[in-house]
Amino acid sequence: MGVKALDYESLNENVKEVQYAVRGELYLRASELQKEGKKIIFTNVGNPHALGQKPLTFPRQVIALCQAPFLLDDPNVGQLFPADAIARARHYLSLTPGGLGAYSDSRGLPGIRKEVAEFIERRDGYSSDPELIFLTDGASKGVMQILNCIIRGQGDGVLVPVPQYPLYSATISLYGGSLVPYYLEESANWGLDVNNLRESVAQARFNGITVRAMVIINPGNPTGQCLSEANLREVLNFCHRENLVLLGDEVYQQNIYQDERPFISSRKVLMDMGQPISKEVQLVSFHTVSKGYWGECGQRGGYFEMTNIPPKTVDEIYKISSISLSPNVPAQIFMGLMVNPPKAGDISYEQYVRESKGILESLRRRARMMTDGFNSCKNVVCNFTEGAMYSFPQIRLPPKAIEASKNAGKVPDVFYCLKLLEATGISTVPGSGFGQKEGVFHLRTTILPAEEDMPEIMSSFKKFNDEFMEQYEAVKI
Partner 1 sequence: MAPPVTVNTINPKVIECEYAVRGEIVILAQKLQDEIKIKLEAHPFEEILYCNIGNPQSLGQQPITFFREVLALCDHPPLLDKSETQGLFSKDSIQRARKILDQIPGRATGAYSHSQGIKGLRDTIAAGIEARDGFPADPNDIFLTDGASPAVHMMMQLLIRSEKDGILCPIPQYPLYSASIALHGGTLVPYYLDEATGWGLEVSDLKKQLEAAKSKGIDVRALVVINPGNPTGQVLAEENQKEIVKFCKEEGLVLLADEVYQENVYVRKKKFHSFKKVSRSMGYDEKDIHLVSFQSVSKGYYGECGKRGGYMEITGFGADVREHIYKLASVNLCSNISGQILASLVMSPPKAGDESYESYISERDGILSSLARRAKTLEDAFNKLEGVTCNKAEGAMYLFPRINLPEKAIKAAGEAKTAPDAFYCRRLLTETGIVFVPGSGFRQVPGTWHFRCTILPQEEKIPAVVTRLTDFHKRFMNEFRD
300 part of the interface to partner 1, by CB under 8 A: yes
How far is it, in rounded angstroms, from Cα 219 to Cα 263? Answer: 8
Q: CB under 8 A: which stretch of 52-60, 386-394, 396-404, 455-463 binds partner 1?
A: 52-60
> Pick from 43, 96, 385, 445: which binds partner 1 (CB under 8 A)?
96
Closer by beta carbon to partner 1, 347 or else 381: 347
254 part of the interface to partner 1, by CB under 8 A: no
The per-type count for the chain, helices as H runs and strands as E runs, is 18, 14
- Candidates 250, 414, 334, 378; CA nearest to 67 is 334
Closer by beta carbon to partner 1, 106 or else 471: 106
Nearby residues of 284 by Cβ (< 8 Å), 6 or more positions away? 146, 245, 246, 247, 248, 304, 305, 306, 307, 309
Q: CB under 8 A: which stretch of 251-259, 294-302, 357-365, 373-381 binds partner 1?
A: 294-302
Instruction: For the CB of residue 197, give the shortest distance to partner 1 in the complex, in Å.
Output: 16
- Candidates 370, 281, 302; CA nearest to 142 is 302
Closer by beta carbon to partner 1, 210 or else 375: 210
| Binding mask of the shown chain, residues 62 to 91, with x at each position contacting partner 1 by CB under 8 A | -xxx-xxxxx--x-xx-xx-----------
Residues 109-148 close enough to bind partner 1 by CB under 8 A: 137-138, 140-141, 144, 148
22 part of the interface to partner 1, by CB under 8 A: yes
Instruction: For the CB of residue 278, give the shortest distance to partner 1 in the complex, in Å.
Output: 14
208 part of the interface to partner 1, by CB under 8 A: no
Instruction: For the CB of residue 361, give the shortest distance to partner 1 in the complex, in Å.
Output: 20
Write the DSSP assignment of 325-345 as a string of letters. Answer: ----HHHHHHHHHHHS---TT
CA 356 and chain centroid, separation? 19
Burial class (CB in 10 A: 0-12, 13-18, 19+), 49: middle
Q: Which residues pair with 283 in a beta bridge?
A: 246, 307
> Pick from 23, 90, 368, 462: which binds partner 1 (CB under 8 A)?
23
Amino acid at 62: V
CA 224 and chain centroid, separation? 11
> Pick from 95, 132, 244, 447: which binds partner 1 (CB under 8 A)?
244
93 part of the interface to partner 1, by CB under 8 A: no
Buried-state track 275-297, b at ≥16 Cβ within 10 A, e below 16: eebbeebbbbbbbbbbbbbbbbb
Q: CB under 8 A: which stretch of 227-235, 317-325, 453-461, 465-473 binds partner 1?
A: 317-325
First CA to last CA across the chain, in angstroms?
56
276 part of the interface to partner 1, by CB under 8 A: no
- For the chain, how are helix, strand and coil distributed in percent, rounded to 5? 50, 15, 35
312 part of the interface to partner 1, by CB under 8 A: yes
358 part of the interface to partner 1, by CB under 8 A: no
307 part of the interface to partner 1, by CB under 8 A: no
